[in-house]
Structure 1
Amino acid sequence: GKTCIYERVFEGKKPWELIHQTATKGISYKDYEIGTMANPMIWDLGGQQQYLDEYHGPLRKNIFRKASILLYIIDITDYDRFESARIEFEWSVNQILSYNHNAKLNVFLHKSDLIHDKSSLVSHIKKVFAKNISHEITYHLTSIFDESLFKAWSDIIRELSPKSTFINSILKQLKNQKGVKDALVIEKSSGLACGSTIDEDEEEIIVGMISLLIVTIDKVTRTMELEKFREIKLKTDSNSLLLTEVNQDLILVIILLPEASDNTLLEEIEESGEEVTQQLRKLWIE
C-alpha cells in the first residue's frame, strides 16, 4: 500500500486505479514539488525479506543518512505481521535517529476503512510500537478511499516546511475577522493543506473535502483549457466558501459564517483576504 499512498495524493490517481498496484521491488524513489512549500524525495522501500536484507546491509547509510522523516506503513488488517512490523520499525527508528536526532516519526495505520472497531486496535498498536521507543511518534489512520490521506500528508508537509509556522500565524489573523469561521491555504496540484486554523478533530474531513474540490477545479480548468480561476464563491445553507488564488501554486480558502452574507461585512472580509494574500505572496518569494 505504500506506493498507492503517495500516488493517490501526488499523482492524483483515483482509488480504482490503484487497486491492482503491484508490490514495490527493491527501492524506488521520486521527487515531488509541493509548489515552493517543499520538495520531498520519497524513498519507497519494498517490504519483502530479500529487500529488507539489503536495507540492513550496504544500502543502510544511503537510505537513512539524509532522511528527515520516517514514514512507516502498517496494514492494520494483517494482524499476523504486527510483531515483525514492530521489530522492523524499531530498527528503522534507530537508524534514522542515529543520523538525525530531530527526525520525525510517522506511522500510517493503513486500510483503516476495513476496520470497524478502530479505537481498540489503534490503542493496541500504539502500545506495542512505542514500547521501546522514547521519541515521539505520530500516528495517522489512512485509506485511499477517503480524505484521511490528504490530512495525513498535509501534516507531514507542514513538518517539512519552515514556512508553515508563518502561514498559520497569518491565517490566525484572518480568523479573528468578524464573519470568518476558519481559513486555510491549499496547494493546488496535490490538494495538500500548507496551513490551517481548523480544529484538529474537524480538520481531516474539512481539509480533505476542500482539497478534493480544489484538485477537481484545477483539473477541470486545465482539461477544458479555461483561463485559470482567480476567485470562486460557494454558498451552502450554513456556510460559504471564498476561494482566492494566491499564486500559481496556492489557493486561500476562507470559510465564512452565515452572518458574512451581509454585503458590507463580506467586503471587509474580502479586503482582509486580499491583505493575507499579499502577505502569503511575499512569504513565498522570500
Structure 2
Amino acid sequence: MDKKLRQNKPRLLLMGQRRSGKSSITSVVFHKMPPQETLFLESTTRIQKDSMRSFMDFQVWDFPGQLDYFDPTFDTTEIFSEIGALVWVIDAQDDYTDSLNRLTTTILNLQTTFPHINVEVFVHKIDSLNEEFRSDIYQDIVQRVSDDLSDAGYINPNITYHLTSIYDHSIFEAFSKVIQKLIPQLDTLENLLNILVNNCGMSKAYLFDILSKIYVASDTRPIDMEVYEMCSDYIDVIVDVTDIFGYERGHDKLLGEQMQEAESSIIIHDGTMIYLKEMNRYLCLVTVIKNNEAKDKKGLIDYNCHVFQDALNGVFARSWEKDKAVGNGGDSSAQEQLQAQLED
C-alpha cells in the first residue's frame, strides 16, 4: 500500500448530490477563490480533474452529482484503484436522505474491491445553522449511515465525519485531516514538531502547505481553533507581502541561492508571539509562543527553527528505500539529530 502511494499521485474523489458544494470547496481550498464568488459557479456536468503540485503531488477529482459511478459504462477500476480518499459532501441545509442512500451504496460497493480507500464525510454548509442544530444533524447523519451499513453486515465502518463551511476555517481543517492520512512521514513530522515545541517553550506549531493553507502536521498538543485560525490568517499576510516583494511562486521556478525563505514574527496585544518561517517553497512553519520573553530570544528561536528546517528537508529528501523506516513509525536518526542540536 505504501509502495503504491509513493509510485502514484494520491487521488481525492469529491462526490455527493448536485449543488452540495463540491465545486465551491475545490475552488476555495485549492484555487484561493473568495467564498462569496462561488455563488456564481455553475453545476459540474463532467468529471473535473485537477493535479495539485505541492510537497506531495495529488489529484482532486470533482464528480457531477447525477452520475452513477457503478454503471457498467464507467470503469470503476480507473476511478477507485488509486489509493487516496473518497470525500462525500452532504448539504446540511437540504434533505439529505437520497445523499445518505447513495453514500451507503457507494461504501458497500467499494468494500469488495477497494477496501483501503479512506471515506471522509463532509457535513457541509453549516455556517447558517446554530450549534444545537449542527449537533443534531451531525448525530443524525452518523447514526443513519452506521445503521444502514450495520444492516448490510458491515460493522464498525472506517468513516470519518467533518462539519465544514467555506466561510470559515473548518473546510481547511477538514482537508488537513484528510491529507494527513496520505502522508507516510506523518509520525516523523509530528515527533519533530514535538521536539521543537518542547525545547523552545512553544504553545503550538503547525506545518502548513503555503498555497492551500492545509496544515500537513502539527505537534500532538490539543488544537485550539482560534489559534489555528490566527496562524492560518498570518500566512495570507506574509504570502501577500512576499508575492509583491519576493520571488515568484510558479511551480517551474526554483528558489534562487541569493533568495532567503520568508521569515516573520509579530507580537499581539497579550504578548503572544506568532512566528513564521518558510521551510521550502511548499511548506512553512507557523508557531505560537506565549512567553513575554520570546521577543528578546528571537535569535535563539531563529536558530532552532533553522535546525528544524534542516531535519525536515532531510526527511523529505530521502529516497523511498531509505524512507521505509518512516512508514513503519518514524525516522529516529532525524529526531535524534534535531534533539541534539536544539538549544533551550
When normalised by structure 2's length, the TM-score is: 0.74
| Residues 244-255 of structure 1 mapped to structure 2, 5 A cutoff | 244-255=277-288
Which residue of structure 2 aligns with residue 277 of structure 1?
309
For residues 43 and 25 of structure 1, the distance between their equivalents in structure 2, rounded to whole angstroms, comes to 13
| Residues 72-151 of structure 1 mapped to structure 2, 5 A cutoff | 72-79=88-95, 82-116=96-130, 117-131=133-147, 132=149, 133=154, 134-151=156-173
Distance 1:178 1:40, change over 3 A: closer
1:63 match: secondary structure? helix
Matched residues, percent identical? 23
For residues 202 and 222 of structure 2, the distance between their equivalents in structure 1, rounded to whole angstroms, comes to 18
Which residue of structure 2 aligns with residue 56 of structure 1?
71
1:236 to 259, 268, 290: 268
Which residue of structure 2 aligns with residue 218 of structure 1?
239
| Letter of the structure 2 residue corresponding to residue 148 of structure 1 | S
Is 1:27 the counterpart of 2:47 in the alignment? Answer: yes
Residue deviations 1:194-228 (CA, integer Å, cap 9, x gap): 111264552x4433442233134223422x24357
| Letter of the structure 1 residue corresponding to residue 72 of structure 2 | G
Which residue of structure 1 aligns with residue 192 of structure 2?
170
Gaps in structure 2 of 5+ consecutive residues: 1-20, 248-259, 319-344
| Letter of the structure 2 residue corresponding to residue 91 of structure 1 | T
Which residue of structure 1 aligns with residue 202 of structure 2?
180
Is 1:256 the counterpart of 2:289 in the alignment? Answer: yes
Aligned length: 276
Distance 1:61 1:178, change over 3 A: closer
Larger helix proportion, structure 1 or 2?
1
Give the CA deviation at 1:246: 0.8
| Letter of the structure 2 residue corresponding to residue 214 of structure 1 | I
* Contact 1:64–1:99 under 8 Å retained in 2: no
State the Cα RMSD in Å: 2.0
* Contact 2:261–2:280 under 8 Å retained in 1: no
| Letter of the structure 2 residue corresponding to residue 242 of structure 1 | Y
* Contact 1:243–1:254 under 8 Å retained in 2: yes
The more displaced of 85-94 and 96-105 is 96-105
Give the CA deviation at 1:177: 1.8
Is 1:3 the counterpart of 2:19 in the alignment? Answer: no
For residues 86 and 75 of structure 1, the distance between their equivalents in structure 2, rounded to whole angstroms, comes to 11
Distance 1:245 1:119, change over 3 A: same
* Contact 2:191–2:219 under 8 Å retained in 1: no
| Letter of the structure 2 residue corresponding to residue 126 of structure 1 | V
Which residue of structure 1 aligns with residue 215 of structure 2?
193
| Letter of the structure 1 residue corresponding to residue 191 of structure 2 | S
Distance 1:153 1:226, change over 3 A: same
